[in-house]
Structure 1
């Protein structure tokens, strides 16, 4: 088929162009060595011995999708204890997070490169009964080959952002054929349903089942966990703590004025700054030091003395850190990036602040605003004023925090609804949720 041929030629071209970079990073920098064989389709021996087992394969690209998948994996493990659960990720950080949060998986691997001969080798070996792709993982050759081996496939907690929709439209002829290979699309929202239908999914295969991120166990209310975090970060529950999560280039600069404004009114205030990409830590550190602000990195927290800006340079801790925040700002929203996950802080019972650019999370934004647990600001000046107001009015902040927890509780159940659809695919007559 011509579109698959074009896709495969592009894959080969990309591989040839990036081979020198990959060799450098692998041989000199030591990256990609772990799991190199898995990416080429060579499975660990224990998985090769599963040939006569019923296998459910869950795939999540990186950290966010992996964390979201935890509730779904828990449900699957409980409902189908006789099945082997294989979990895959693409990134190193996703794999590390899976090792921490996906306890029920029988094996965790890197997702194979989407070349026909590689995915054919993998799927021919294990022939999973069901493959679940989290959010928007649409790999053409993998899904086509899964269809060939009669593996049932579904997208769980599917999401198509506005920006992704625009990009996908360039590949619509190929994408239509890819979507035909997927048995069920369980989408997060009505908007996501509309988007997947616009791209060519068959209407009878598409469902609106909500977001499995609502079903995560955030350990909210766990006093022992919060006390442990206070101790690790050398903080006091009496100190105002502001967490700036998933920030981007230029946002950290804008947040300097916000920090100074709040610090003038609350001298004991501490700001935990969590950049989206921790490789920028030195750049951010220099930026703040030039402003006369002392910064301590999370990895050097034992040396912390009076520094009131903590730079989070670790992966996988941010979701827990929200639990000790008084106020939370989510980045990618003061700039035209489209925002990030605002449900995590809400799940910890936190009023969440964000900028005007949340176009990649329209439904979540609408939800938190309708429930009164989100504050959308037009710029950094307004962010400073709104945050100051709630620090000065603790009783109103407590009301908002309770409302956030109530919103999360009222929207749980997406994981179970996804399991019900999975049960239909693998021939289970009824599902006792």
Structure 2
């Protein structure tokens, strides 16, 4: 059954090899866990269980850093309240996702590499992990993996599910091929009613689709400060007495847009901290302006520089410090929303009470942005420079914007508990009805 898919994958890989091979060579991503990507590795042995007894094993697959972060509260809840009955194994695809999963979960759970969707790789992987059920974060439904799980009677659940209008339009052309995948899902826990209708249209039975909202509301840590944020400012030379704009998870073209907008519209004392989403772009962004101060160049004891130029520019070219950067901001700009890439997650800075701006290209988080915008908790605009300048010039208005945004987060939390109940039911450990969230449609 998997042979046609294997042939298609091999042909596609061969045809596109000049492109992906060059990109992997240029970014250094060819230095990856190839054995794990083809399903190889040691068998996953049960993690210690203080309460003894046999547990059901749940495999949760989170593709990259964003998905890994989205399941933090779910993993913690299942481990804390149901660890005597449920053993968790976390699988990731990307190198950055794997590193983040190791950081968050390796002390208590097995973390493995998710395989490429070739039949032999999938079979090796499932032989090693032997899950009782599988939870796929957001979507990530692959035909050979689904077929092999079905052959082994392993139920598959999509959690925190999303199927954007763009993805749905592409899937519709492949419906004869992918319909069986969607029909095979034991359950689909999706974020919005619109997503639910798309899953049903693709073949998932309506009684298996549940609107449970997004777990990202729960993973948002509502706080007024972040540990060690002050140290980051000191080490980079950020002047806390002057306004700071933080642009998080930026993509190609946006850094130049931000630099030009700050210089054209904002007072000269305004500082800009750029945080590119992909590490391989750090050098590219640093080359945009000779005055850019890189985090990696600053000594830990660095003090605020005297005689900094107008509109001082900073580059956070390290991983894992975006939250600290947000905590320092007077205004946050959400990256990948001004260049057609669909936007990044705006929840984290708003949870820190930061007035936040998002561009017009936010389809990846359309429902989240809509919820904030409806409550007056975010600025969605094409006019980047004027929007930044207005918030910096009107601190009361900026504070009100941030307050409304935080209220939205607090009102929408609870999805993680509903997801846990669904997963326990699929594992055969609970016999409860799943109550859909009363979340508004985007």
Do the structures match in fold with TM over 0.5?
yes
Question: 1:345 and 1:319 mapped to 2: Cα distance?
Answer: 8
Shifted more, 38-47 versus 110-119: the winner is 38-47
Q: Which residue of 1 is the match for residue 424 of structure 2?
A: 423
Name structure 1 gaps, 5 residues minimum.
none
Q: Distance in 1 between matches of 2:106 and 2:129?
A: 21
For residues 133 and 171 of structure 1, the distance between their equivalents in structure 2, rounded to whole angstroms, comes to 20
- For residues 248 and 208 of structure 1, what CA distance do their matches in structure 2 show? 31
Q: 3-state SS of the aligned residue for 1:287?
A: coil
Q: Output the CA distance in 1 between the equivalents of 2:35 and 2:45.
A: 13
Residues 38 and 44, structure 1, Cα contact 8 Å, conserved in 2? no
The residue aligned with 2:207 is 204
Identify the residue that residue 298 of structure 2 maps to in structure 1. Answer: 301
Q: Residue 54 of structure 1 corresponds to which residue in structure 2?
A: 56
- For 2:411, the equivalent position in structure 1 comes to 410
Shift of 1:249: 2.2
| Residues 270 and 30 of structure 1, relative CA distance in 2, 3 Å threshold | closer
Higher helix share: 1
**Correspondence for 2:316 among 296, 312, 319:** 312
C-alpha separation in 1, matches of 2:338 and 2:23: 33
Alignment of 1:266-345 (within 5 A): 267-289=268-290, 294-302=291-299, 305=305, 306=308, 308-345=312-349
Alignment of 1:36 with 2:34, yes or no, is yes
2:365 pairs with 1:367: no
Task: Measure the CA separation in 1 of the matches of 2:109 and 2:47.
Answer: 12
| Other-structure match for 2:397 | 396
Contact 1:119–1:145, Cα closer than 8 Å, also in 2: yes
Structure 1 residue aligned with 2:259: 256
**1:25 positional shift:** 8.8
CA distance in 2, matches of 1:251, 1:45: 44
**Does the 8 A contact of 1:161 with 1:360 survive in 2?**
yes
Please, which of 63, 70, 75 is the counterpart of residue 68 of structure 1?
A: 70
Taking a change above 3 Å as real, the CA distance of residues 396 and 201 of structure 1, as seen in their structure-2 partners, is: same
Question: Secondary structure of the equivalent of 1:229?
Answer: helix
Aligned-partner SS, 2:40: coil
**What is the TM-score when the length of structure 1 is the normalising length?**
0.88
Does the 8 A contact of 2:63 with 2:93 survive in 1?
A: yes
TM-superposed deviation, 1:430: 5.4
Aligned partners of 2:222 and 2:351 also within 8 Å: no
Q: State how far apart, in whole Å, the 1-side matches of 2:181 and 2:59 are.
A: 18
Question: Cα 1:22–1:273, aligned 2, differ >3 Å: closer, same or farther?
Answer: closer
Quote how far apart the aligned CAs of 1:88 are.
1.1
SS at match of 2:197: helix
Contact 2:247 2:332 in 1 (8 A): yes
What's the counterpart of residue 89 of structure 1? 92
Counterparts in 2 of 1:15 and 1:377: CA distance versus 1, 3 Å: closer
Q: Conserved in 1, the CA contact under 8 Å of 2:356 and 2:402?
A: no
How has the CA–CA distance of structure 1 residues 44 and 323 changed in structure 2, closer, same or farther, with 3 Å as cutoff?
farther
Cα deviation code 1:57-94 (max 9, x no counterpart): 11111111111111111112123213332111111111
- Rounded to whole Å, the distance in 2 between the matches of 1:111 and 1:32 is 16
Task: Note closer, same or farther for the CA distance 1:98–1:138 as it changes in structure 2 (3 Å cut).
Answer: same
Residue 164 of structure 1: CA displacement? 1.4
2:289 aligned counterpart, secondary structure: helix
Equivalents in 2 of 1:48, 1:407: separation in Å? 40
CA gap 1:31/1:249 in 2 versus in 1, 3 angstroms: closer
> Aligned residue for 1:243?
246
1:13 has 2:19 as partner = no
Q: Secondary structure at the match of 2:298?
A: helix
Distance (whole Å) between structure 2 residues aligned to residue 178 and residue 407 of structure 1 = 35
1:163–1:360 CA contact under 8 A, matched in 2 = no
DSSP-derived class of the 2:287 partner = helix
Residue in structure 2 matched with residue 138 of structure 1 by the alignment? 141
Query: 2:51 is matched with which residue?
Result: none
Q: Is the 8 A contact 1:73 1:104 kept in 2?
A: no
Separation in structure 1 between the aligned mates of residue 26 and residue 263 of structure 2, nearest angstrom: 42
**RMSD of aligned C-alpha atoms?**
2.9
Q: Secondary structure at the match of 1:201?
A: coil
1:323 shift after superposition: 2.0
